[in-house]
Amino acid sequence: MPEQKNVNVVDLENLKIHFPVRRGFLRKKIGDVKALDGVTFSIRPGETLGLVGESGCGKTTVGRAITQLYKPTEGLVKFKGKDLSGLSYNDLRPYKRQMAMVFQDPYSSLNPRQRAGDIVGEPLLVHEITTNDQEYRKRVSELFKICGLSSDMSDRYPHEFSGGQRQRLAVARALAGNPSIIICDEPISALDVSMQAQILNLLQSLQEKNTGMSYLFISHDLLAVEYISHRVAVMYLGKIVELSDARDLYKNTLHPYSKALLSAQPLPNPAEEAKRQRIILEGDVPTPLNPPPGCSFHPRCPYAAPECAESCPELKDYGNQHFVACHHVS
């Protein structure tokens, strides 16, 4: 595939992913879980896009849709400008070589019966990147070194590693195929704080060394997302409600949901923490089986007006590439 410059690594266009819900003996379809309901955004080469939102809002589904684990119900996933819909599993392989995933749980994402070296080298074999044994070994030990692991440990099994080391193995595996994008699906949520810092720094320095590599960094840890991301997207119930430059989003939050979300984050500085105003939202997240009409956030929104229940706000640019989907932002 010819490499093109100035082309977004990933484009999602009005992406909808609905999972049918079936009940009863005849498995009659009784509705759809609208995991993603019209998501549009792009990831540029070399950038980290943070994706935040509460549990069940569809963050993980976005990541899995990009790696083609879920087929879109509607809309497009483009990789480097190429529409991936309609390609068979085998046709997708050359594209999948350029994407990689790091999962949340490093205990479940590594095959317990495979040796660490084989886990890391898996993409090399799957995509036939290395042709001989010597080359393979050299590359694997290199990947170990890059991720701060001793290549002497390549004969160990995953359970002989700590959580942080396992996650480094997962990162090493993701790097093996020299991907253009790594989907990091909550890569630090299962780790303790010191390990979180290690993985974040590892990811960041990898990107500094290889400026063409992008990340989709999915997390609910707002501080980590602020630290690592260039741009941040906030999701609510299968939709993007705010998307902007990271600093801009954290300093100049526009969408009421984003404001509430950010206000839930404790501040490291005790003086500021004491002054922190929490916005407590009323009620629960509505079920994605039957999302409310209009703006899906309106039942819980402190600023809701009648129009919010009628029409769904579009994601609009409010200057400086700051996109918000709300009727009340001016």
Partner 1 sequence: MDDHNMKDNLAAEGFAGAEPAVENLTAEDFDADGFMPEEGEGFQVLEDGMLPMMDERKRFLKIFFHRKTVAIGFGIFVAMLLLAVLAPVVAPYDPYVQDLGNVLTGPAANHLLGTDALGRDLLSRVIFGSRVAILVGMVCVVVSALIGVTIGLVAGFSSQAVNSVIMRITDAIMAIPGLILILLIVAVFGSNIFAIILAVSLGMFPGYIRLVNGQVLSVRQNDYVLAELAMGAKHSRIILTHILPNVFSPLIVQMSMMLGGAIMSEAMLSFLGLGLAPPIAAWGRMCFDGQKYLSMRPLLSLAPGFMIMLLVFSVNMVGDGLRDALDPRLRGTLG
Q: Which of residues 247-276 bind partner 1 (CB under 8 A)?
A: 247
Q: Indicate the residue among 89 and 283 with the shorter CB distance to partner 1.
A: 89
206 contacts partner 1 (rule: CB under 8 A) = yes
Choose, by CB under 8 A, the member of 65, 110, 188, 325 that binds partner 1: 110
Instruction: Spell out the SS3 assignment of the chain.
Output: CCCCCCCCCEEEEEEEEEEEEEECCCCEEEEEEEEEEEEEEEECCCCEEEEECCCCCCHHHHHHHHCCCCCCCEEEEEECCEECCCCCCCCCHHHHCCEEEECCCCCCCCCCCCCHHHHHHHHHHHCCCCCCHHHHHHHHHHHHHHCCCCHHHHHCCHHHCCHHHHHHHHHHHHHHCCCCEEEEECCCCCCCHHHHHHHHHHHHHHHHHCCCCEEEEECCCHHHHHHHCCEEEEEECCEEEEEEEHHHHHHCCCCHHHHHHHHCCCCCCHHHHHHCCCCCCCCCCCCCCCCCCCCCCHHHCCCCCHHHHHCCCCCEECCCCCEECCCCCC
Choose, by CB under 8 A, the member of 18, 34, 59, 230 that binds partner 1: 230
118-151 burial by CB neighbour count: b if 16+ within 10 A, else e?
bbbbbbbeeeebbeeeeebeebbbebbebbebeb
Q: Indicate the residue among 228 and 326 with the shorter CB distance to partner 1.
A: 228
Site for partner 1 in 3-22 (CB under 8 A): 3-6, 9
Site for partner 1 in 272-311 (CB under 8 A): none
71 contacts partner 1 (rule: CB under 8 A) = no
Q: Indicate the residue among 148 and 292 with the shorter CB distance to partner 1.
A: 148
For residue 306, the minimal CB distance to partner 1 (Å) is 40
Closest CA to 195 of 175, 170, 178: 170
315 contacts partner 1 (rule: CB under 8 A) = no
Site for partner 1 in 144-183 (CB under 8 A): 145-146, 148-150, 152-153, 156-157, 159-160, 164-165, 168, 173, 175, 177-180, 183
Q: Indicate the residue among 201 and 290 with the shorter CB distance to partner 1.
A: 201
Site for partner 1 in 22-51 (CB under 8 A): 44-47
Question: How many chain residues are in contact with partner 1, going by CB under 8 A?
Answer: 79
For residue 34, the minimal CB distance to partner 1 (Å) is 21
Q: Which stretch binds partner 1 (CB under 8 A): 64-72, 232-240, 251-259, 303-311?
A: 64-72
Q: Which stretch binds partner 1 (CB under 8 A): 71-79, 107-115, 276-284, 287-295?
A: 107-115
Q: Indicate the residue among 160 and 310 with the shorter CB distance to partner 1.
A: 160
For residue 109, the minimal CB distance to partner 1 (Å) is 4
Choose, by CB under 8 A, the member of 14, 85, 210, 321 that binds partner 1: 210
220 contacts partner 1 (rule: CB under 8 A) = no
Q: Which stretch binds partner 1 (CB under 8 A): 96-104, 235-243, 283-291, 309-317?
A: 96-104
